[in-house]
Amino acid sequence: MVMRLKAILAGAWLSGTAFATAQGGFFTEKPVAEQPSPDVSASAVAAVRQLGVEVVQGHYKVAIDRMYPQWKERAAAKIGGMDKLEGKLSEASREMVRQGVSMVSFQPSGAPQVFEVWPGKKAQTVNGKSAETLVYTKWLVLIPTTTRFNIIKDHQNRVIESRGFQVAISDKGKNDWTFIDGAALTIRELRSLFLTLPEDFKLPEIERREVSPETQR
């Protein structure tokens, strides 16, 4: 049930030198790269931390509201529409309560990784003339997370720790982050959304373990 909830909250790869733009066109030149400032990862981590605060408080709909739009459309289409997606989330949270499961913490943990994605053209003035430059228009940040669940069964308390990750995406310069939960995400699925991710791109590992209740903070 825990993994079911996280899964709910949760293509083609271009090789060679061709790059897809946000408008669907293809160019042989590589987009101009930009070095991210520390503020990019700091902002993304802060957004994930706030998402965790909301979810721990039981505001699960926030996870849908802040889901990356294209990923949300895919998730909704798979089960027959947005109403059904929200309904499955509500059903999963109620089932957790019936089974004595509660989420007690959800927070960023570990170093974030920042990538540029979504090539597009940017108008610039060079030597007094208007020109268009191919650039990356979005930041994508992989943020490791640690989530803890209490499970009360037969008058005994167990604590399950789940290490996963969130994918945070924002247009450059806006710091308006939306998310893809990593619980059921594959590299192929993420590449189908962001074709220009590095060829050696890897997702953080996901693991679950039982920990002592005394280790909770």
pLDDT the model gives residue 29: 78
pLDDT band for position 214 (cuts 50, 70, 90): low
Q: What's the mean pLDDT when you consider all of the chain? A: 87
Distance of CA 32 to the CA centre of its chain: 24
pLDDT the model gives residue 23: 38
Tell me: the pLDDT tens digits for 44-93? 999 999 999 999 999 989 999 999 999 999 999 999 999 999 898 889 88
pLDDT the model gives residue 5: 54
Task: Quote the tokens at residue 139.
Answer: 């930041």
pLDDT band for position 128 (cuts 50, 70, 90): confident
Question: How many whole angstroms separate alpha carbon 39 and alpha carbon 177?
Answer: 13
Distance of CA 113 to the CA centre of its chain: 12
pLDDT band for position 123 (cuts 50, 70, 90): confident
pLDDT the model gives residue 153: 82
Q: Percent of the chain, pLDDT > 90? A: 67
Beta bridge partners of 12: none
pLDDT band for position 215 (cuts 50, 70, 90): low
Answer whether residue 204 shows pLDDT above 60: yes
Tell me: the pLDDT tens digits for 136-151? 999 999 999 999 999 9
178-181 and 101-108: which strand pairing?
unpaired
Question: For 179-192, what is the mean pLDDT?
Answer: 96
Count Cα neighbours of 140 within 13 Å in the Cβ-side half-sphere: 22
Sign of the alpha-carbon torsion through 59, 106, 10, 51: positive
pLDDT the model gives residue 155: 82
pLDDT the model gives residue 28: 64
Distance of CA 87 to the CA centre of its chain: 21
The answer to whether 32 touches 135, Cβ cutoff 8 Å, is yes
Question: For 161-175, what is the mean pLDDT?
Answer: 97
The answer to whether 127 touches 33, Cβ cutoff 8 Å, is no
pLDDT band for position 174 (cuts 50, 70, 90): very high
